[in-house]
A and B are shown apart, each in its own frame.
Chain A
Amino acid sequence: MCDFSKNIMELTWLIPVLPILAFGLILLTGRRGPGEGAYIGIAGIAASFLLSLAVTVITVASALGGHEFHPFTHSVVWATLGNIDVRMGFAVDQLTVMMLMVVTTVTLLVQVYSIGYMHGDPRYPRYYAYLSLFSAAMLSLVISDNLLLFYMSWELVGLASYLLIGFWFEKPSAMRAAKKAFIVTRLGDVGLFLGLIVLFWYTGTVNMQEMFAAVPSLMGTTLKIASVALPVLPLAGILLFAGAVGKSAQFPLHVWLPDAMEGPTPVSALIHAATMVAAGVYLVGRMYPVFAYEPHSITLTVVTVIGVTTAIMAATIATVQHDIKRVLAYSTISQLGYMMFGLGVGGYTAGLLHLMTHAFFKANLFLGSGSVIHGTGTQDMRQMGGLSKKMPTTYWTFLIATAALMGLPFTSGFFSKDEILLEAFHTSLPIFWLGLGAAFLTAFYMTRLVALTFWGEARDPSIHAHESPRVMTIPLIVLAVLSLVSGYIAWPSNNIFHHLVHFGDGAAVPFSWTVMLLATSAAFLGLGLGLALYLRPVISPSIFREKLPWAYNLLQNKFYFDEFYWAVLVVPLFWITKVLARFDARIVDGLVNGVGYATLGLSIAYSWFDRVVVDGIVNLVGGATRISGRVLRYGQTGVLQNYALVAFTGVLVLAWFYLFR
C-alpha cells in the first residue's frame, strides 16, 4: 500500500464522524439550515460515501493485488482497566468495505428520496438529524475493530431506530411500535452484552482480531455455573447470536419488525430493510471465527435452525397480509432468516452476498412502496390496483426489484439465493428443501403483491394516484440498476466476491446445475401460482380462506405470537409489578415514613439548637465583620494629612516591630 493510500485509509475514522457533524449542525440550525437541514444531512453522508468509495477501491485493489492481505487497523488507548489497555479504533477489511458501500449508498439514496417523501413535515429538520445520527452510528458499527465500540454503536442504531419508528409520535400506534421495537431488541442486546463479557473475560481483550487469535486456545474451556459446566465458545457464540436475533428480527424476537412499519417509509427502507436489521447478520459474519470454531459447531446449528424457521414462518405469514409494507416487512424477516441459515450451513460468502443484494432490492421495494403510498395515500393493497399505468417509473423499478427478490435468473437475487441453497445442498438436505420452500413462497407472495398493487383495475375510485416527483424516482432507478447488476460480481465461474469475502481457506463449493434448476423452478412455480390466483383467476384467491379457515386465521394472526407474548410475558410482568408496587406502598413506604417521622422529631430539636446557638454564632461573626469594616472605615477621613500620618506611623511601627523584637 503506497503512502497516499495509507493516508486515505487513516481517514476512515472520518466516515462516521461526518454524519455526526451533520447531526449536530442540523440540530443547531434547524429550519434555517440549507434545505431545512436536508442538504446538511445529504452533504454529510455524500462525503462519507465518497470517502468509503476511496477506502473500498484501495482495499479491493490491495486484496486482489496478489500480496497477502492484512486488514488496515488503527486504534488508540481508550481506557486502562488494571493492566489491560482497552483500545478503540477501526479495522478495514473486505467485509467492512462491502458494508460501508451498502450503508453509504442506501443511506445517500434514502436521504435524497426523503426530500420528496417528507416534504412539508412539521419536524422535517429533526427527521434529517435522526437520519444522520443513525448513519453515524451504523458506520461506526461497521468500522469498529472491537466489540465494545461495536456494542455502543449497536445500541445507538437501536436508539436512532426507536426515534425514527416513533417519528410521528402523535399516532399511538407509532409510539407503541417504537417502544416495542426498543424493548424487544433490548432482550437480544442483553445477550450480546453478556457474550461480550464472556469473551472479554476469557480472552482479556475487546479487540476482535485478538479475540479470534485466542479462539483455538479456548477449545474445551468451560465455564462452571453451580454444577453445570458450559463450554465457553458455544456459550459466547449463542449469546452473541441472541443479539443478532433481536436486531435482525429472527424467530422468536421477530415481532417488532412488522410493527416498526409505523415509521416513515424511507426509514423502513433504510433501517428496517437494508442496514440496521442486517447488522445482526453482519455481527455473525464479523464474529464468524467464534461461531465456526469447528465445522458444524453447535453454534452454527443453532444459527441454521433459527434462520430456516424464520425464513419459512415469515414467508407463510407474508402470503396473507393486506398491508403492502407489512408484506415487505415479513419478506425482510424471511430473507434475513435466509442469510442466517446461509451462514449457519457454512455459506459465509453466500450469506454475506445475500446481505448486499438484499439491501439493494429490498430498499428498492420499500422506497417503491413508499412512492405508491405517497401517490395513493393508503397502505392497504385492497384499495390499490391498476397503478402500473399511473406510476410507470415506480412500477418498472418495483418489478425489477421483485424479480431480484424472487431470484429470477440473471438478477442479483438469483446469484445470492442460489449460492445459499447450494451451500445448504452440500451440508444438509432437509435445510435445502425448506429453503426451496421459502423461495417458492417468496415468489408467490411477491406476485400477489405486484398483482394486487399494480395490475388489474383500480379498486378504490376515490384514490387518484399520481407518479412521485423526480427526487423520489431517481433513487428508485439507481437502486433498480443495482438490484439487477450487483449479483454479477459473484458469477459462478469467476466469483470475485468469493475471492474477496471468504472464511478460512476459502475453497468455493462447486457449482451445481441441479440446485440452480431446482431453485429457478421453485421461483417460477411460485410465480405461476401467483399469476393463476391473481392475474387471471383460474383459481379463486379466496379458496385458501374457505377450505382451510383455521390455517388462514393462524397466518392472518401471525401465528398468534403477539397474543402469546402478551399472555405469557406482558400480563404476568404487569401482575408482578403490581404486587411489587403494593409491597412498596404498604411495607417499604411504611418503613420510610416511620424513619421520616423520627427524623422530623430529631430535626425539630436540632433546628432549635441551630437557630439559637449556631445561627447566633454565625450572626455574631457576620455582624462583627461588618462592624469592624465600619470602624476601620473611619480611618479613611479624606484628609491628606491623616493619610500621611498613617503612612509614617506605618513605617515606624514596622521598623519598631522588627528592630526591637
Chain B
Amino acid sequence: MNFSLFYLSPELILALGGIAALFVGLASKSRKGFPWPEVFCLLVLAAALVPTIAMLTMGRVTSGTSIFGGIFAVDGLAMFFKIVALISTGIVTLISTDFFRRIRFHRGEYYALLIFATLAITTLAASADLIMIYLTLEFLSLTSYILAGYLKQDTKSNEAAVKYFLYGSIASAVMIYGMSLIYGLTGTTNIVEIASTFKVNPASYSLLYLAVVMLLAGFGYKIAMVPFHQWSPDVYEGAPTPVTAFLSVGSKAAGFAVLIRVFATGISTAILDWAGLIMVLSAVTMTVGNLVAIPQTNIKRMLAYSSIGQAGYLLLGVAAMAYSSIALPSVLLYIFAYTFTNLGAFAVVSMISTRIKSDYIRDYAGLIRRAPAAAVAMVFFMLSLAGIPPTAGFLGKFYIFAAAIQSGNSWLLALTIVAIINTIISVYYYMNVVRYMFFVKAKRIEPIEQPGIMNFVIGMTFAMTIIILVYAGPFISMAHISSGMFKGI
C-alpha cells in the first residue's frame, strides 16, 4: 500500500479548517470590523488547493493509485474535481460576503458548513467504494440541506430546505437499495473489484440493470437529471443565492465525479450498455430543462432549468466516454468552463437581486443604465451558457460535440443533433435576459451600487470566461492531464 499522509492533506486541511472556522466565528461576533470568518474560509480553501495542484502537476498522482485499501482514489479525476470544488467554493465565499452583509446570521457556522460541504465534495470525488460514496454523498447532502435553509426567517428558504431534505432522503434510499443489489451480485463494495468480479462471473443482466437505474436515481438527483430534477427549481429559488450558486456548480460537479468514476471504472459497457441509458436520459434532460426554462419569470428558477439543460449536455459527454477517448477531457473542460460562467451569472444575480429586492427577470429591465459593467458581463455569461463564441462555453460545447461526432456512433450523432437543437432553443431564454437588460425601459433609473468585492468576482469570472477560450491551451492540457491520470475500463 502506497500510503502517504500527503495524499490526504487537502481533506485534512479542510476538516481541521472547518472546525477552526467555528471558533473564528465565535471570536468575531461584530459584523463591523475585519471580516475574519470570510478571510479564514478563503485561507483554508487556498491552503487545500496548494497540495491538490501540487499532486496534479508534480507527478505524485498516477492512474489507479488509491489509499485506505482502495476506498480513496488518488488520481487525476479526483484532483480535477477537488480543484473545481475548491475554486468554486472560494468564489461562493466572496459572493456570500456581499449577500449576507445586511442580514443577521451565524457567520462562523455558515462558513464552517461551506468548508465541510467542500470537504464532502473532495472526498466524494476520490471515493472508490460504494460505502464511501454513500457516506460522502450523504455528508454533502446534509450540509447542503442546512445551507439551503440558512435564512431562518425566510419561508421560502425553509421550504427549500425541507423539500431538499425529503427529496434527497428518497433519492438516497433508492440509491442504497441499488448499491445493496450490486453488493449482493458481487460480494464487494469496491468498484475496482466489482469490475473484476463481473469480468469473470457475469451477473444476471436484469438485476444488474435494475441496480444501475437505482444508482442513477441517487447520482441523478445530485446532478439534477430528469426525472430526478424536480427538487432543483424550488430549492434554487428558495435557497440564499450564494448557496444556489454552490449547489449549481460544486454539488453538481461532485455528482458528475462519482457518476463518471462508478460507470467508467465499475461497470464495463460489455456487460451492460449503460451508454444507451445515459443517452436517453441526456436527451430527456436537456430537452425538458431547456423547454421549461423558456416560460420562467424568476431568474433563479430560469438558471435552475438552465443548469438542468447543462447537465444534459454533460451527460452526452459521459455517454460518449464509452466510445471516444477524448470524451472525458471534453467533459472536464466543459465543467471547468461552466464553473466560472455559472458562478459569474449567479454573482451578478446575487449582487443585483439583493439591491433591487427582486428575483424577477422583468425587474432587470434597463440594467445597462443602472449597472452597466454587471450587465455587460451578464451578456457574456449568458452567451457562454448558450455556447456562443467568444466565450468558454463555446469551447466546452465544441469539445463535447466533437467527441460525440468523433466516436462515430450513430446514436451519439443523433443525440448531438438533439443537443444542437437544444442549444438553439436555449438561446431564446438566455437572450431574453439580455433583452430585458438592454432594450426594455426601466421603471427606475437610479444606479445600483456595485461593491468592490462583487466587481472583483464578476470581473474575475468574466475574465476567465473569455480567457478559457482565447488562451485555451493550458486548460485543454489540464483536462487532458487529469483524464490521462484516470483509468476507466
Q: Which residues of A contact B (CB under 8 A)?
A: 625-626, 628-630, 632-633, 635-636, 638, 640, 642-644, 646-651, 653-655, 657-659
Q: Do A649 and B227 touch (CB < 8 A)?
A: yes
Q: Which of B207-215, B374-382, B388-396 contacts A (4 or more CB under 8 A)?
A: B207-215
Chain A positions within 8 Å of B217 at CB level: 647, 650-651
With beta carbons under 8 angstroms apart, the residue of B206, B228, B288 that contacts A632 is B288
B435 close to A (CB within 8 Å) = no
With beta carbons under 8 angstroms apart, the residue of B206, B280, B293, B295 that contacts A659 is B206
- A643 CA to B159 CA, complexed, in Å: 14
A-B contact pairs, 26 of them (CB 8 A): A625-B428, A629-B291, A629-B293, A629-B295, A630-B294, A633-B295, A640-B163, A640-B166, A640-B167, A642-B230, A643-B230, A643-B231, A644-B167, A644-B170, A647-B227, A649-B227, A650-B217, A651-B174, A651-B213, A655-B209, A655-B210, A657-B280, A658-B209, A658-B213, A658-B277, A659-B209
With beta carbons under 8 angstroms apart, the residue of B171, B221, B277, B292 that contacts A636 is B292
Of residues 296 through 352 on chain B, the ones whose CB sits less than 8 Å from some CB of chain A are: none
Q: Do A647 and B170 touch (CB < 8 A)?
A: yes
Q: Do B291 and A628 touch (CB < 8 A)?
A: yes
- A646 CA to B229 CA, complexed, in Å: 10
Q: Do B228 and A650 touch (CB < 8 A)?
A: yes
- A591 CA to B216 CA, complexed, in Å: 68
- A655 CA to B217 CA, complexed, in Å: 12
The closest CB in chain A to the CB of B233 belongs to A636
Q: Do A659 and B294 touch (CB < 8 A)?
A: no
Q: Which residues of B contact A (CB under 8 A)?
A: 163, 166-167, 170-171, 174, 206, 209-210, 213-214, 216-217, 221, 226-228, 230-231, 233-234, 277, 280-281, 288, 291-295, 425, 428
Given contacts A636-B230, A654-B277, A659-B206, 10 further A-B contacts (CB under 8 A): A626-B295, A628-B291, A629-B291, A636-B292, A644-B166, A644-B167, A647-B217, A654-B281, A655-B213, A658-B213
The smallest C-beta distance from A641 to any residue of chain B, in angstroms, reads 9
Q: Do A647 and B209 touch (CB < 8 A)?
A: no
- A220 CA to B281 CA, complexed, in Å: 78
Q: Do A632 and B167 touch (CB < 8 A)?
A: no
Chain B positions within 8 Å of A653 at CB level: 227
The closest CB in chain B to the CB of A647 belongs to B228
Chain B positions within 8 Å of A644 at CB level: 166-167, 170
Q: Shortest 9 CB-CB distances between A and B: which pairs?
A: A650-B227, A629-B294, A643-B230, A629-B291, A654-B213, A632-B292, A629-B295, A630-B295, A646-B227
The closest CB in chain A to the CB of B429 belongs to A629
- A646 CA to B228 CA, complexed, in Å: 8
Q: Do B425 and A647 touch (CB < 8 A)?
A: no
The smallest C-beta distance from B262 to any residue of chain A, in angstroms, reads 17
- A647 CA to B220 CA, complexed, in Å: 10
Chain B positions within 8 Å of A658 at CB level: 209, 213, 277
The smallest C-beta distance from A166 to any residue of chain B, in angstroms, reads 37
- A646 CA to B170 CA, complexed, in Å: 12
Chain B positions within 8 Å of A626 at CB level: 294-295
Chain B positions within 8 Å of A625 at CB level: 291, 294, 425, 428
- A625 CA to B227 CA, complexed, in Å: 20
Q: Do B292 and A629 touch (CB < 8 A)?
A: yes
Q: Do A635 and B210 touch (CB < 8 A)?
A: no
**Interface secondary structure of A, over-half rule:** helix
The smallest C-beta distance from B433 to any residue of chain A, in angstroms, reads 16
Q: Do A646 and B230 touch (CB < 8 A)?
A: yes
The smallest C-beta distance from B137 to any residue of chain A, in angstroms, reads 16
- A626 CA to B294 CA, complexed, in Å: 7
Q: Do B230 and A635 touch (CB < 8 A)?
A: yes
The closest CB in chain B to the CB of A631 belongs to B291
Chain A positions within 8 Å of B216 at CB level: 654
Chain A positions within 8 Å of B226 at CB level: 650
A-B contacts counted at CB < 8 A amount to: 72
Chain B positions within 8 Å of A629 at CB level: 291-295
The smallest C-beta distance from A311 to any residue of chain B, in angstroms, reads 57
Q: Do A651 and B214 touch (CB < 8 A)?
A: yes
Chain A positions within 8 Å of B170 at CB level: 644, 647
The smallest C-beta distance from A316 to any residue of chain B, in angstroms, reads 62
- A638 CA to B217 CA, complexed, in Å: 20
Chain A positions within 8 Å of B231 at CB level: 643
Chain A positions within 8 Å of B428 at CB level: 625
Chain A positions within 8 Å of B163 at CB level: 640, 643
Q: Do B292 and A633 touch (CB < 8 A)?
A: yes
The smallest C-beta distance from B55 to any residue of chain A, in angstroms, reads 37
Q: Which of B170, B230, B425 has the most CB of A within 10 A?
A: B230
- A448 CA to B288 CA, complexed, in Å: 93
- A364 CA to B372 CA, complexed, in Å: 55
Chain A positions within 8 Å of B171 at CB level: 647
The smallest C-beta distance from B315 to any residue of chain A, in angstroms, reads 14
- A247 CA to B171 CA, complexed, in Å: 82
The smallest C-beta distance from A624 to any residue of chain B, in angstroms, reads 10
- A632 CA to B291 CA, complexed, in Å: 8
With beta carbons under 8 angstroms apart, the residue of B166, B167, B213, B234 that contacts A638 is B234
- A5 CA to B371 CA, complexed, in Å: 57
The closest CB in chain B to the CB of A626 belongs to B294
Chain B positions within 8 Å of A640 at CB level: 163, 166-167
The smallest C-beta distance from A654 to any residue of chain B, in angstroms, reads 5
Chain A positions within 8 Å of B295 at CB level: 626, 629-630, 633
- A649 CA to B281 CA, complexed, in Å: 14
The closest CB in chain A to the CB of B164 belongs to A640
The smallest C-beta distance from A317 to any residue of chain B, in angstroms, reads 58
Chain B positions within 8 Å of A646 at CB level: 227, 230
- A651 CA to B173 CA, complexed, in Å: 13
- A650 CA to B280 CA, complexed, in Å: 12
- A10 CA to B35 CA, complexed, in Å: 53
- A141 CA to B361 CA, complexed, in Å: 59
The closest CB in chain A to the CB of B296 belongs to A633
The closest CB in chain A to the CB of B165 belongs to A640
- A350 CA to B171 CA, complexed, in Å: 94
- A461 CA to B423 CA, complexed, in Å: 82
Chain A positions within 8 Å of B166 at CB level: 640, 644
The smallest C-beta distance from B435 to any residue of chain A, in angstroms, reads 15
Q: Which of A643, A648, A649 has the most CB of B within 10 A?
A: A643
The closest CB in chain A to the CB of B234 belongs to A638
- A356 CA to B221 CA, complexed, in Å: 81
Q: Do B167 and A643 touch (CB < 8 A)?
A: yes
- A636 CA to B236 CA, complexed, in Å: 13
The smallest C-beta distance from A360 to any residue of chain B, in angstroms, reads 48
The closest CB in chain A to the CB of B225 belongs to A650
Chain A positions within 8 Å of B213 at CB level: 651, 654-655, 658
Chain B positions within 8 Å of A650 at CB level: 217, 226-228
Chain A positions within 8 Å of B233 at CB level: 636
- A646 CA to B171 CA, complexed, in Å: 12
The smallest C-beta distance from A424 to any residue of chain B, in angstroms, reads 61
Q: Which of B209, B210, B227 has the most CB of A within 10 A?
A: B227
Given contacts A640-B163, A654-B277, contact A647 B291 (CB under 8 A): no
- A635 CA to B163 CA, complexed, in Å: 16
The smallest C-beta distance from A198 to any residue of chain B, in angstroms, reads 42
- A648 CA to B216 CA, complexed, in Å: 12
- A642 CA to B295 CA, complexed, in Å: 21
The closest CB in chain B to the CB of A625 belongs to B425
- A625 CA to B421 CA, complexed, in Å: 11
Chain A positions within 8 Å of B174 at CB level: 647-648, 651
Q: Do B210 and A659 touch (CB < 8 A)?
A: yes
- A635 CA to B216 CA, complexed, in Å: 21
The smallest C-beta distance from B306 to any residue of chain A, in angstroms, reads 13
- A539 CA to B296 CA, complexed, in Å: 101
The closest CB in chain B to the CB of A646 belongs to B227
- A650 CA to B230 CA, complexed, in Å: 12
The smallest C-beta distance from B431 to any residue of chain A, in angstroms, reads 13
Q: Which of A633, A635, A636, A650 has the most CB of B within 10 A?
A: A650
The smallest C-beta distance from B82 to any residue of chain A, in angstroms, reads 29
Chain B positions within 8 Å of A657 at CB level: 280
- A633 CA to B170 CA, complexed, in Å: 22
- A636 CA to B216 CA, complexed, in Å: 21
